[in-house]
A and B are shown apart, each in its own frame.
Chain A
Amino acid sequence: MSNPPSTGLRSWLTTTDHKRIGTLYFWTAFAFFLIGGLEALIIRAQLAQPDGSLVSADTYNQLFTMHGTTMVFLALMPMTAAFFNWIVPLQIGARDVVFPRLNAFSYWVFLLGGLFMNASFLIGAAPDGGWFGYVNLTGPQYSPGLNIDFWVLGLQILGVASLAAGFNFIVTILNLRAPGLTMMRLPVFSWMTLVTQFLVITAFPVITVALVFLLFDRTFGTNFYVPAAGGDPVLWQHLFWIFGHPEVYILILPAMGIVSEVLPTFSRKPLFGYTVVVYSGVLIGFMGWGVWSHHMFSVGLGPIADSFFAAATMLIAIPTGVKIFNWIATLWGGQIRFTTAMKFAVGFIAMFIIGGLSGVSHASPPSDLQQTDTYYVVAHFHYVLFGGTVLGLFAGMYYWIPKMTGRLLSERLGSWHFWLTFIGMNLTFFPMHFIGLLGMPRRIYTYAPELGLGTMNLVSTIGAFVIGLGTLALVINVLWSRRHGEPAGPDPWGGATLEWSIPSPPPPHNFDVIPTVTSRLPRWTTEHPAAPSAPGSAVHVPPGSWWPLVAAAGLPIMASAVVTKLLALVFLGAAVLVFGIYRWAYEPFEV
């Protein structure tokens, strides 16, 4: 058996092992999470008092734009990808994803896209048009600099990474399930991954087109969004939010999946209403496509459109609410163990309820008109994306990192992490509801003392630094436990799903023998016999490959052509991409 190299830089650059790629995603997303968090802290420091003067208005624009863009595309989505990579193949009893080299390609494209976008800081021209990049602010007339070019091209590159991963994971989940693992026995996390990836492959082409129009307007002088030529800036809003609302579910569904694994394990009860939770997730995926214009009520689309999208938005709260009841019912009467993972999962439910309720409050157009573009909206989506997605991801870290590293995280530090984060986020974001309703607009770099919002803003800023302390506890915990954490053993929590049946960390081929599944909770419902010892040398582990990295490198080279105005780079980048793909296609590589 030809094992790939297992240490050294080369082994990481050429790896096609889903676990190693998951680890790469984890650390990269973690680093971007810290960068995005740092941007948030500077924003909050600037707003701590009226007439703040820490940063200029220009810098402030770059900070909030990059905070949003970084958190959505470079921190949260890739962190969910880290869990998809690590956990999905283990949960479905597979030795890897279906296309390991495509998986490596996704990671490298993501990394290079993230670096490309952040390289803009080096020349002092970071994107500054908001994470939603509304035209005509982002058009050539009002944003002549390179800032928006970096944003447009960076997102295009990142889109390629997401799409490639989407195809890979859909096919992996549909096609590589262990014998007996029917769709209705599939762990909820894997189910939510599947729904998420369907949203990815259908939502990203839409923003791709929107971005191409913007790129053409900026680079080639077309008039897609230019009103004087008959173009319509609202077209951008439609295309962006047709992508943007499903994107919200792309961010939250994986967290819902994580929580649906953590709650049953630490309640020692099967998930209440598995079928309903799964179908609600699928329904959310479908309905997520019909609500985008609730981001555009203030445009004035007319009563019919407004009523339709208001009704659809209120309806989508139903499957979400159903899930919340299922989670609470799972806790009911369970033997609850309040581990850190469990604390974060329960915190997720509580915070997500608040975020969901404030969301319903701007499903109604008249109410939304009072709230739109104020801090109320900032409060809402941070309860959903921080209180929901981030807390869910933290739950996932405490639950699955022991599987990844073989060592438990410290529960003591974990407790500090949880309480600092939980208290900090409520201090930060709860006052924003009032700050917004009292009239403070979003994306304003400072405010007058006469508004009387100084105290609440100060509280919010203190809260943000408390979250920062909590995050520090997490960083210390993750680094410390790598060496000093207690050995986890294969199954530290008594989990029900297949990933807990193999050693931690798992061997390169995961399963000595592919398991046969007979129930939804394979480790709870059957006596688990010791895994039959397998002829280890017969398990084939695919070798590494350089070509995904080479092919990925072609994309940022092509994108550089726009910001350097060197046409030759397009051809060079395309040549690198095509060369990489051909070598990849002709490489003898068996999975």
Chain B
Amino acid sequence: MTHATSMGLDSRKLAFWTFIGSECLLFGSLISTYLVYKGQSVVGPYPHEILNIPVTSLSTFDLLASSLWMVLALAAVQRGDMKWAKIWLLGVAIGGLIFLGFQVYEFTSFVHEGLTLQRNLFGASFFLLTGTHGAHVAVGVIWMLTLWVQALRGRLGPQNAITVEIAGLYWHFVDVVWIIIFTLVYLLQ
């Protein structure tokens, strides 16, 4: 049900933008802590010994690609092409799952190499930052699957494309945060 709003912008979308603003401060605090504690660990493993740029580039590429699937999913929903909408929505979810798979692989191999939460400041701030991001991806995957199930049941269409649009906002935001983390944590060691 649509109301005329004072700003001419859908209220849910506006709320979501304020939520993203809030999330910026959350990730900002986590990233700042990571940077402040860079080089402060008194024991290894240190970032340059352990971070695997080639592998993480792959997962980064996968997450970037999923943002493209998201754009295509929204476009499909908006023009009422529900066949492709379902495909692209599932694609986004799978892209997210692949990313999470990479992260599980990364975390377990780090633990095998001796980097744990408790080991040093690098471990604590790295796991908490990337883990928080991973949790956001996981929520996004559940959201995409929910939309996909909705589409399968025929309950998604151009009339409620706004719900897909908001999910897309979330997904792109999580993607952008990852680009920042990838740059600051992995590339600029």
Contact = CB atoms under 8 A, between A and B. Distances in A.
25 contacts: A98-B11, A98-B15, A99-B15, A163-B22, A170-B15, A175-B11, A175-B14, A176-B6, A202-B22, A205-B25, A206-B26, A209-B33, A212-B128, A222-B117, A222-B128, A223-B124, A229-B42, A230-B37, A230-B41, A230-B120, A230-B121, A231-B40, A232-B36, A232-B37, A591-B1
A229 B33 contact: no
A229 B40 CA distance: 8
B7 interface: yes
B29 A175 contact: no
Interface in A177-221: 177, 181, 201-206, 208-210, 212-213, 216, 220-221
A213 B21 contact: no
A201 B1 contact: no
A171 B120 contact: no
B15 A216 contact: no
B162 interface: no
A232 B39 CA distance: 13
A167 B26 contact: no
A220 B125 CA distance: 13
A565 to B, nearest CB: 18
Contact of B15 (A171, A203, A209, A590): A171
Given A167-B15, A167-B18, A229-B120, A205 B37 contact: no
A167 B41 CA distance: 38
Given A166-B18, A220-B118, A230-B40, A210 B29 contact: yes
A312 to B, nearest CB: 19
Contact of B29 (A176, A209, A590): A209
Q: What 7 pairs between A and B have smallest CB-CB spacing?
A: A205-B26, A209-B29, A205-B25, A230-B40, A222-B124, A175-B5, A201-B22
Given A201-B21, A223-B121, A230-B42, A213 B128 contact: yes
Contacts of A239: 29, 33
Q: Which of B5, B14, B29 has the most CB of A within 10 A?
A: B29
B124 A175 contact: no
Contact of A166 (B11, B22, B33, B40): B22
Interface string B61-87: 000000000000000000000000000
A181 B6 CA distance: 9
Contacts of A216: 117, 124, 128
B33 A235 contact: yes
A48 to B, nearest CB: 42
B23 interface: yes
B147 to A, nearest CB: 11
B9 interface: yes
Nearest to A168: B15
Nearest to B16: A167
A224 B11 CA distance: 39
Interface string A214-249: 001000111110001111100100010000000000
A591 B2 CA distance: 10
Most buried by B among A166, A167, A175: A175
B39 to A, nearest CB: 9
Contacts of B128: 212-213, 216, 222
A89 to B, nearest CB: 13
A522 to B, nearest CB: 16
Nearest to B41: A230
A220 B6 contact: no
Q: Identify the interface centre among B6, B7, B33, B120: most chain A CB within 10 Å of its CB.
A: B6
Given A167-B19, A216-B124, A202 B25 contact: yes
A234 to B, nearest CB: 10
A305 to B, nearest CB: 14
A174 interface: yes
B18 A170 contact: yes
A174 B33 contact: no
By size class, the interface of chain A is 35 or more
B30 interface: yes
A99 B12 CA distance: 9
A224 B121 contact: yes
B31 to A, nearest CB: 10
A205 B22 contact: yes
Contact of A208 (B9, B26, B42): B26
Given A170-B18, A175-B11, A205 B118 contact: no
Instruction: Give the interface centre of A163, A221, A223, A239 by most chain B CB atoms within 10 Å.
Output: A223
A213 B121 CA distance: 11
Nearest to A181: B6
Contacts of A210: 29
Given A202-B25, A205-B25, A216-B128, A231 B121 contact: yes
B40 A174 contact: no
Contacts of A175: 5-7, 9, 11, 14
B18 to A, nearest CB: 5
A222 B118 contact: yes
A209 B31 CA distance: 11
Nearest to A217: B124
Contacts of B21: 201-202
Contacts of A224: 33, 121, 124-125
Contacts of B36: 232, 235
A206 B25 CA distance: 6
A209 B29 CA distance: 7
Given A171-B14, A204-B22, A239-B29, 7 more contacts: A99-B15, A174-B6, A202-B22, A205-B25, A223-B124, A229-B42, A231-B40
B150 to A, nearest CB: 10
A166 B25 CA distance: 14
A216 B117 CA distance: 9
A167 B17 CA distance: 9
Given A213-B128, A231-B37, A205 B121 contact: no
A216 B128 CA distance: 9
B11 A213 contact: no
Given A216-B124, A224-B125, A205 B15 contact: no
B152 to A, nearest CB: 15
Contacts of A167: 15, 18-19, 22
B33 A213 contact: yes
A209 B124 CA distance: 13
Interface string B120-140: 110011001000000000000
Nearest to A203: B25
Nearest to B118: A221
A239 B1 CA distance: 41
